Amino acid sequence: MKITIPSTGQTYELKTDLQLKPRQEVIVEVDQIIEPAIVLCDKVCPGKKEVESLVQGNIRIIRAFTPEDEAFRTELKQRALKYLTDAQEKSLRHGLEIKIIRAELSLDEKKLTFYFTAEGRVDFRSLVADMVGSFHKIIRLQQIGPRDEAKIYGGFGKCGRELCCASFLNNLESVTLEMANLQEMAGTKTNKITGCCGKLMCCLSYEADAYQKVKAKMPRIGSKFQSTQGEGKVVGHNILENKVILETADGKKIEVLI
């Protein structure tokens, strides 16, 4: 079984007798710290990206997450808020140009994780030492990018639904321009295919594999294609309807089923 710990981003492989499902939350003890984790897969993970940081460490699953655990986590979120202002003030005193946007306590309250954004790499060793002395906890500072920031703040996408990253996506895998190209959206105005984080929308990846399979069976752009309506040059695809757009010798454009 493979699980990931959101507060560290690390993925672990371990054995358990518990019957758990992918995306299910569990409580684990790792390096004597108790915190939530997410099951990636019960046997073999389907993709390599999910297990790039795979480690085998001193970890055990205590139990599956319960409603009581969720209520306690909500309480901990409120307790963690009191550290935010002090942490930001400390970062300014240390001359660090960072924006601390979230504080998170482990379930045993031994570890305090701060998530922050910054333009580049930051040397925060002196800040961590200051925080340890003031907060009397294990301190972890985690720099995050725009997509993770959107996940934390939440909101609604262009579709009118809650942001995918904030509602159900546990692993924010990269979304590439190639995925937009597959769906012939690369020529679309940038603001039409980017999310509120300023990055390509996560949903561009959802059907990319299906588009790839269909497109692989279609004649290439620029090639000649003989259809029931005559021969023409392929100038476009209509993947949803499994059609190609042909330009005939007399300059007309027609859509034909393949």
Q: Which residues of 169-189 are buried (b: 16+ CB within 10 A; e: fewer)?
A: beebeebeeebbebbebeeee
pLDDT (tens digit per residue) in 2-13: 888 888 878 888
Tell me the C-alpha to C-alpha distance, in Å, between residue 238 and each of 199, 227, 235: 26, 15, 11
Q: What is the domain count for the chain?
A: 4
The domain boundary, picked from 144, 167, 200, lies at 144
The proportion of the chain whose per-residue pLDDT surpasses 70, expressed as a percent, equals 92
8 A C-beta contact, residue 254 and residue 246:
yes
- Helices and strands (H, E) in the chain, number of each type: 7, 13
Q: Within this chain, do residues 139 and 205 fall inside the same structural domain, yes or no?
A: no
Query: CA 82, 85, 89, 90 torsion: positive or negative?
Result: positive
pLDDT band at 108 (very low <50, low <70, confident <90, very high): very high
Q: Within this chain, do residues 73 and 137 fall inside the same structural domain, yes or no?
A: yes
Residue 53: the pLDDT is 42
For 64, the enclosing helix (H) or strand (E) is: strand 59-64
pLDDT (tens digit per residue) in 137-166: 999 999 998 888 998 888 999 889 999 988
The domain boundary, picked from 144, 172, 195, lies at 144
The token pair at 10 is: 């690390």
Which has the closest alpha carbon to 128: 101, 96, 102? Answer: 96
Residue 51: the pLDDT is 40
Residue 64: the pLDDT is 93
CB under 8 A, 24+ apart: contacts of 61-64: 61/3, 61/14, 61/16, 61/18, 61/20, 61/26, 61/27, 61/28, 61/37, 62/26, 62/27, 62/28, 62/29, 62/34, 63/18, 63/26, 63/27, 64/18, 64/20, 64/24, 64/25, 64/26, 64/27
pTM over 0.75: no
The domain boundary, picked from 21, 43, 65, lies at 65
228 vs 37 pLDDT, higher one: 37
Residues paired with residue 26 on neighbouring β-strands, in sequence order? 37, 64
Q: Within this chain, do residues 132 and 191 fall inside the same structural domain, yes or no?
A: no
Our measurement of the distance from residue 202's CA atom to the centroid of its chain's CA atoms, rounded to an integer in Å, reads 8
Cα(200)–Cα(197) distance, rounded to whole angstroms? 8
Does position 37 have pLDDT exceeding 60, yes or no?
A: yes
Residue 111: the pLDDT is 95
Our measurement of the distance from residue 247's CA atom to the centroid of its chain's CA atoms, rounded to an integer in Å, reads 41
Q: Which residues contact 224 (CB under 8 A, 6 or more apart)?
A: 231, 232, 233, 234
Q: Within this chain, do residues 77 and 127 fall inside the same structural domain, yes or no?
A: yes
Q: What is the CA radius of gyration of the chain?
A: 24
What's the CATH code of the domain at 93?
A: 3.30.300
Residue 42: the pLDDT is 73
Cα(33)–Cα(212) distance, rounded to whole angstroms? 43
14 vs 88 pLDDT, higher one: 88
Residue 40: which domain range? Answer: 2-65
